[in-house]
Amino acid sequence: MNASEGVAPAIESILAAADERGGGDRRLSVAARSLPAALAAAEEDGRVPVIGEIKPTSPTTDGRRDDDPVALAEALVDGGAAALSVLTEPDHFGGSPDALRQVRETVSVPVLRKDFIRREEQLDVVEADAVLLIAQFVDDLAGLVTAARERGFQPLVEVHSRAELDDALSAGAGIVGINNRDLARLDVDLSTFEELAPHAPEDVTLVAESGIASEEDAARMRRAGADGLLVGSALMAGDVAANTERLVGAER
């Protein structure tokens, strides 16, 4: 399979860079904070379960947010985020493994590592509670899901189509992220989540990813069955704690 077939030039460049990056030289063993439990606890508490993403920049963002990642993490948690996501991709998203390390040392909520992981040893770069695996970009999804679990990580498998959702489920994913962004065209359509969510079994933790900007968007994804919302850009623009508080307080 040629994983980069039919994807936007920015993504091709992201994948080429990902293939160049090495991995860790020893196998990590992490004691993970449970992401599903953190999302459920927020819900119990009457909060919209938001995974707040620290994303300094991206190929679809204008400008950059170069604040201290720890300060951003604290603002997200103060605003009520149930969990955090930290970009570790350096070349296109301005992230770093070190930012994740510092954030995870500071906060007590679960932290997701957001990167383009292609090979097993790339899991060994930095400890996190959950790791993103993008179905479209991984050749042996079941193998990487197992490799992630062997290290103690909770794999969050990202999908964008029915076929990828089925692949994620057959690979044994317990947490599935449905990305509303089409990586081939780079546009966002919230109906992606609405169309795919009904095909996931009840016991899978479902995360709606990308393009959630308003309280209405948050409510819409919750009505469609999202157990968690992964939000980056809309939180990063302006006052991070206030932005988070607004989405966390959205009604259904």
Ligand X SMILES: O=P(O)(O)OC[C@@H](O)[C@@H](O)c1c[nH]c2ccccc12
Please say which residue, 117 or 171, places its beta carbon nearer to ligand X.
117
217 binds ligand X (CB under 6 A): no
Please say which residue, 202 or 228, places its beta carbon nearer to ligand X.
228
233 binds ligand X (CB under 6 A): yes
- The conformation of residue 210, written as its DSSP 8-state character, comes to S
Q: Fill in the per-residue mask, 118 to 157: x = in contact with ligand X (CB under 6 A), - = not in contact.
A: ----------------x-----------------------
209 part of the active site = yes
Contact 88, 114 (CB under 8 A): yes
Pairing outcome for strands 83-87 and 205-209:
unpaired
Q: Distances from the Cα of 13 to the Cαs of 3, 9, 58, in angstroms?
A: 12, 6, 13
CA distance linking residue 75 with residue 71, whole number of Å:
6
- From the CB of 207, what's the least distance to ligand X, in Å? 9
56 binds ligand X (CB under 6 A): no
Q: Smallest Cα–Cα separation from 29: which of 157, 130, 153?
A: 153
CA distance linking residue 63 with residue 150, whole number of Å:
38
The residue length of the chain stands at 252
175 binds ligand X (CB under 6 A): no
Contact 229, 212 (CB under 8 A): yes
Q: Smallest Cα–Cα separation from 131: which of 110, 156, 97?
A: 156
List 58, 85, 89, 114, catalytic entry: 114
- From the CB of 29, what's the least distance to ligand X, in Å? 25
Please say which residue, 55 or 246, places its beta carbon nearer to ligand X.
55
100 CA to centre of own chain: 13
List 85, 89, 127, 158, catalytic entry: 158
202 part of the active site = no
158 binds ligand X (CB under 6 A): yes
158 part of the active site = yes
Among all residues, which ones are annotated catalytic?
53, 55, 114, 158, 179, 209-210
Binding site residues, ligand X, CB under 6 A: 53, 55, 114, 134, 158, 179, 209-212, 230-234
